[in-house]
């Protein structure tokens, strides 16, 4: 048996051919389907691939360009988790040494079945930019006495941001059809979507199985500033999210409205 390492580019081309053959294997033409399946099986044997290897090739990860020194704040982590859940991905935290900052930094990473991880990353970065500015403005308002708080400006702004994320999370979920949709006309479509989500989750779990992923620590429960929460909820409600996200990634999320 040939045990020479396989060139990555050759392997990528082979996987594309196998996927094409597997798609043709679903043909109503029995001869065409049988031929395509034999070709797929022959390629898998040649490149020592299993069907799971082929499926896992659709799973990928993308890393945000934005970073935090040492550790992302709780509201940042919750935004990443919310976006990941809505678009059927897993949200991870990646720590690495930044030569430019000469410091250890942390970034958000999204793992999903292509193109879901790219959609999640776009949504996260667009929303993070908007939230960062809204939080900054609120902190400035607390310092100037415009907003009352028994907490420091930074802490009150953190509480504001957590409430903002909660509101935007609900808006994001409303954009994506769910299996519990009671509309009879969309029942079949919803079932298909749920089946795809379950399939994607299985692939993502398999992809992450060989990676050393630590468990996130549960955040400590703290008493939140009620005024900051109300302000954050109102600001989050003013963010308008227009549907325009497809599984193919042809369109993107559009954000408008006040932060």
Whether residue 36 is found in the same domain as residue 20: yes
Domain limits for position 43: 8-56
Whether residue 118 is found in the same domain as residue 205: yes
Whether residue 112 is found in the same domain as residue 192: yes
Whether residue 166 is found in the same domain as residue 221: yes
Q: Is residue 1 part of a domain?
A: no
Q: Is residue 3 part of a domain?
A: no
- pLDDT per 10-residue tile (average), the chain, 259 residues: 63 81 81 83 78 77 90 94 93 86 89 89 94 97 94 96 96 71 47 57 83 67 87 94 52 50
Q: Is residue 224 part of a domain?
A: yes
**pTM higher than 0.75:** no
Whether residue 66 is found in the same domain as residue 100: yes
Whether residue 73 is found in the same domain as residue 23: no
Whether residue 26 is found in the same domain as residue 113: no
Whether residue 200 is found in the same domain as residue 142: yes
pLDDT for residue 175: 78
Q: Is residue 150 part of a domain?
A: yes
The answer to whether 107 and 67 are in contact (CB under 8 A) is yes
The answer to whether 106 and 233 are in contact (CB under 8 A) is no
Q: Count the domains in the chain.
A: 2
Whether residue 80 is found in the same domain as residue 43: no
The residue from 35, 56, 77 where one domain ends is 56
Whether residue 83 is found in the same domain as residue 206: yes
Residue with structure tokens 């993308």? 62
pLDDT for residue 63: 94
Whether residue 66 is found in the same domain as residue 48: no
Whether residue 37 is found in the same domain as residue 67: no
The residue from 38, 56, 74 where one domain ends is 56
């Amino acid at each position: 048996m040939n045990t020479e390492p396989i060139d990555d580019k050759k392997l990528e081309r082979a996987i594309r051919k196998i996927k094409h053959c597997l798609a043709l294997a679903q043909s109503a033409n029995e001869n065409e389907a049988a031929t395509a399946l034999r070709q797929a099986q022959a390629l898998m044997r040649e490149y020592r691939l299993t069907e799971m290897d082929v499926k896992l090739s659709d799973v990928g990860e993308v890393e945000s360009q934005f970073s935090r020194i040492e550790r992302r704040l709780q509201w940042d982590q919750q935004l990443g988790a919310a976006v990941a859940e809505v678009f059927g991905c897993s949200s991870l935290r990646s720590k690495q040494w930044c030569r430019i900052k000469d410091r250890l930094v942390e970034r958000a990473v999204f793992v999903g079945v292509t193109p879901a991880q790219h959609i999640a990353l776009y949504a996260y970065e667009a929303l993070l930019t908007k939230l960062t500015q809204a939080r900054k403005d609120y902190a400035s308002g607390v310092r100037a006495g415009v907003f009352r708080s028994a907490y420091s400006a930074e802490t009150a702004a953190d509480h504001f941001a957590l409430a903002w994320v909660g509101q935007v999370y609900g808006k994001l979920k409303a954009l994506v059809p769910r299996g519990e949709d009671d509309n009879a006309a969309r029942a079949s479509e919803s079932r298909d979507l749920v089946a795809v989500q379950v399939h994607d989750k299985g692939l993502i779990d398999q992809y992450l199985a060989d990676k050393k992923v630590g468990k996130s620590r549960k955040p400590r429960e703290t008493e939140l500033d009620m005024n900051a929460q109300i302000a954050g909820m109102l600001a989050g409600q003013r963010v308008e999210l227009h549907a325009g996200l497809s599984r193919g990634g042809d369109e993107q999320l559009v954000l408008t409205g006040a932060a």
